[in-house]
């Protein structure tokens, strides 16, 4: 029995619903039941900075989504997947004389994060301070003032507050925002504002592997609701992955899923390429086995540049001649890779428990590292580049999702997306029957 099958059995034992045929058969939280209920409720979602990750989860639940997306390739992907894009630029919904509106009770947003990626030092810290100051000054109340902030600093710094500006105007019943962990102080400051508006708010860090995603991706999340019910963190369906003790599993949930579980690898590992200076300072780092969760996958996961991944091993796929997998197109699922004389692992600068001497290696039986916009630098075994399909699978996308654009643009969409399974858990927490009523 595979780990996926074991996880499904365990999930069924715990009365966690399984969604067949969606997100590669991974266990999802109550989605099958939710689809009919949410459709009957007439829930509509405004999805700012939409991409496609939230859209996949919303479609699975029968929720109509009005997406706002500026990237042409992402819009093409949305069109191909049957997703509705109502306009392209979030400022169009705030600044025009006749603002474009979309009636909704759920607002979703994954604003740009680049200006905060180095929060705590240098420009990232300054950007964070700018946003926190703007919240204190109430810039979200006046879109023109908010846009001026972007002109004075970095447009992305202002964009992170456009969801709050939309809430100030529209007052949706439900809110869900997510971004990289350094954005958490922004969400906490926004939470104080939302509470003054009458919302119950939860903010914190969610770990993707705890929601059936075969990847150790951490995200800062804000969940808010104005229906008299207390906002709460979604209930995990899977164990947390403990980097220093991979055999440790949380009780009363299914095991975490590994790279091998979803990519069909038996025993393999991939290594993440490092720059010469990093090798000189720290030496070669161990990888991560395919039986572990993946690291964060960036939009440049398919090359040999520093930051990319390589598969390390010397075996060929079952039933294939050596070299057959060097040019496997990204339009077909990844083939099974076996190993007899050695294991395989994924090398990365992520997910090493803070130990620089071991930075970046996981075996096939572990989760992948976080998938980011640089995922096209990844290579399996230095022989074949990681395909967009594989990166999408590690993000919990359906196998046949129609990503548009060049390989680089596809990886950019995949790496920047919220994993659909994690998005689904957030939606279910917001829209499922109430657990506790706010006094």
Mean pLDDT of 401-414: 94
363's CB contacts (< 8 A; 6+ apart) are 269, 287, 288, 289, 290, 291, 292, 343, 344, 345, 346
pLDDT for 293: 78
61 and 185 together in one domain: yes
39 and 57 together in one domain: yes
| Residue where the block lists tokens 């919904």 | 93
pLDDT for 285: 46
* 145 in a structural domain: yes
64 and 158 together in one domain: yes
251 and 273 together in one domain: no
Q: How far is the C-alpha of 235 from the C-alpha of 156, rounded, in Å? A: 31
Write out pLDDT tens, residues 196-220.
999 999 999 999 999 999 999 999 9
Q: How far is the C-alpha of 121 from the C-alpha of 114, rounded, in Å? A: 14
DSSP state of 267: S
How many domains is the chain partitioned into structurally?
2
The H or E element containing residue 166 is helix 162-170
205 and 299 together in one domain: no
Q: How far is the C-alpha of 172 from the C-alpha of 302, rounded, in Å? A: 40
Strands 200-207 and 218-225 come out as antiparallel
The H or E element containing residue 68 is strand 64-68
Q: How far is the C-alpha of 332 from the C-alpha of 45, rounded, in Å? A: 32
Mean pLDDT of 401-411: 94
- Sequence length of the chain is 439
Tokens read off for 144: 């023109």
Contact status, residue 93 vs residue 163, Cβ threshold 8 Å: no
* 403 in a structural domain: no
3-state SS, residue 223: strand
Q: How far is the C-alpha of 199 from the C-alpha of 183, rounded, in Å? A: 20
83 and 170 together in one domain: yes
Mean pLDDT of 13-36: 38
Residue 6 has pLDDT above 90, yes or no: no
351 and 246 together in one domain: no
Residue 113 designated active-site = yes
Residues pairing with 44 in the sheet: 64
CATH code of residue 250: 3.40.50.150
Terminal CA-CA length for the chain: 47
Write out pLDDT tens, residues 298-327.
555 544 333 344 444 333 333 334 333 333
Range of the domain at 267: 259-394
Q: How far is CA 53 from the centre of its chain?
A: 7
* 414 in a structural domain: no
* 400 in a structural domain: no
Write out pLDDT tens, residues 49-74.
999 999 999 999 999 999 999 999 99
279 — pLDDT class (breaks 50, 70, 90):
very low
109 and 205 together in one domain: yes
Q: What is the pTM of this model?
A: 0.78
247 and 263 together in one domain: no
364 and 265 together in one domain: yes
391's CB contacts (< 8 A; 6+ apart) are 297, 301, 302, 371, 375, 376, 378, 411, 414, 415
Mean pLDDT of 372-401: 76
251 and 286 together in one domain: no
pLDDT for 165: 96
Write out pLDDT tens, residues 238-253.
999 998 898 899 999 9
* 241 in a structural domain: yes
* 178 in a structural domain: yes
Please state, as a whole number, how many other Cβ atoms lie within 10 Å of the Cβ of residue 13. 10
Look at residues 386, 384, 420 and name the one whose alpha carbon lies nearest to residue 401: 420
* 125 in a structural domain: yes
Residue 157 has pLDDT above 70, yes or no: yes
* 416 in a structural domain: no
Contact status, residue 325 vs residue 385, Cβ threshold 8 Å: no
235 and 277 together in one domain: no
Contact status, residue 293 vs residue 216, Cβ threshold 8 Å: yes
Given 19, 43, 113, 191, which residue is catalytic?
113
């Amino acid at each position: 029995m595979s780990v996926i099958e074991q996880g499904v059995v365990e999930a069924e034992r715990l009365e966690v619903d399984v969604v067949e045929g969606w997100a590669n058969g991974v266990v999802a939280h109550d989605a099958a039941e939710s689809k009919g209920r949410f459709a009957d409720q007439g829930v509509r979602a405004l999805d700012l900075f939409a991409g496609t990750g939230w859209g996949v989860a919303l479609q699975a639940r029968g929720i109509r989504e009005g997406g706002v997306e500026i990237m042409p390739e992402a819009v093409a992907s949305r069109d191909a997947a049957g997703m509705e894009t109502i306009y392209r630029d979030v400022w169009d919904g705030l600044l025009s004389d006749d603002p474009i509106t979309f009636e909704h009770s759920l607002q979703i947003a994954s604003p740009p994060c680049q200006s905060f990626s180095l929060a705590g030092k240098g420009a990232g810290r300054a950007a964070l301070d700018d946003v926190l100051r703007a919240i204190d000054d109430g810039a979200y109340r006046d879109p023109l003032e908010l846009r001026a902030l972007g002109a004075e600093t970095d447009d992305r710094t202002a964009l992170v507050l456009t969801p709050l500006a939309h809430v100030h105007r529209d007052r949706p019943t439900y809110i869900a925002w997510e971004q990289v962990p350094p954005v958490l102080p922004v969400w906490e400051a926004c939470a104080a504002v939302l509470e003054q508006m009458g919302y119950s708010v939860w903010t914190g860090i969610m770990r993707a592997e705890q929601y059936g995603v075969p990847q150790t991706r951490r995200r800062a999340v804000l969940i808010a609701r104005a229906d008299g019910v207390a906002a709460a963190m979604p209930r995990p369906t899977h164990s947390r992955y403990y980097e220093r003790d991979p055999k440790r599993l949380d009780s009363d949930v299914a095991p975490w899923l590994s790279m091998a579980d979803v990519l069909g690898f038996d025993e393999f590992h991939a290594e993440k390429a490092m720059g010469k200076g990093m090798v000189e300072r720290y030496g070669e780092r161990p990888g991560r086995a395919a039986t572990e969760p993946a690291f964060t996958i960036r939009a440049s996961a398919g090359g040999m540049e520093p930051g990319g991944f390589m598969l390390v091993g010397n075996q060929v796929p079952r039933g294939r001649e050596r070299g057959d997998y060097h040019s496997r197109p990204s339009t077909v699922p990844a083939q099974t890779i076996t190993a007899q004389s050695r294991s395989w692992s994924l090398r990365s600068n992520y997910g090493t428990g803070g130990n620089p001497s071991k930075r970046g290696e996981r075996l096939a039986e572990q989760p992948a590292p976080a998938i980011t916009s640089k995922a096209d630098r990844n290579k399996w075994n230095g022989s074949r580049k990681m395909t967009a399909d594989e990166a999408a699978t590690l993000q919990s996308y359906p196998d046949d999702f129609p990503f548009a654009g060049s390989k680089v643009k596809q990886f950019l969409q995949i790496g920047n997306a919220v994993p659909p399974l994690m998005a689904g858990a957030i939606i279910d927490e917001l829209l499922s029957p109430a657990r506790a009523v706010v006094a």
